[in-house]
Amino acid sequence: MSDQPAALHETLGHVRVVRFDPGHAAIEYRCGLHMCHSGGVAQGGFVAGWIDAAMAHAVIAKFGETRVPMTLELKVSYFAPAKPGLVLAEAWIEAGGSRTIFTEGRLTDSAGKVLAKATSTITMIDAAKVAGMVAG
């Protein structure tokens, strides 16, 4: 698993990777007040980002780093507000082949309460091609 830029880890409140097994990943995040809007509720983009990152990690854990998982579609359903404190984003590969992958994930609070669930369609792109996209 390659290191993400430190700024991304800091922005998302990354604490630690709890699970990194082929097709499964779990990442612990700390939701800070700076991520919240009115009423001390985490902005929904952070919730989506936490789950999306876990889904990408689940794919990387299975397929390695020679190809980059790129989200084509992300659907998030919010069930309860994420509040400041620790949250856990868990994700797994539900189905797919070598190019298109369907993942699912969820975000829970420290008590295990499900705060949000998500599904994603991911395509795999050669890492060298992605590097060329960024450089060019």
Q: Which of 95, 83, 4, 99 is nearest to 46 (CA)?
A: 83
Task: Give the pLDDT confidence of 21-52 residue by residue, as tens digits.
Answer: 999 999 999 999 999 998 899 999 999 999 99
pTM over cut 0.85: yes
Asked if 116 and 78 count as a contact pair (C-beta separation under 8 A), the reply is yes
In angstroms, rounded to a whole number, what is the distance separating the alpha carbons of residues 118 and 48?
8
Sheet containing 24-31: give its strands across: 14-21, 24-31, 85-96, 100-109, 114-126, 67-78
Domains of the chain (ranges, CATH numbers): 6-135 (3.10.129.10)
* Per-residue pLDDT, 7: 83
Task: Give the pLDDT confidence of 97-113 residue by residue, as tens digits.
Answer: 889 999 999 999 999 99
Q: Is 99 exposed, middle or buried (0-12, 13-18, 19+ CB in 10 A)?
A: exposed
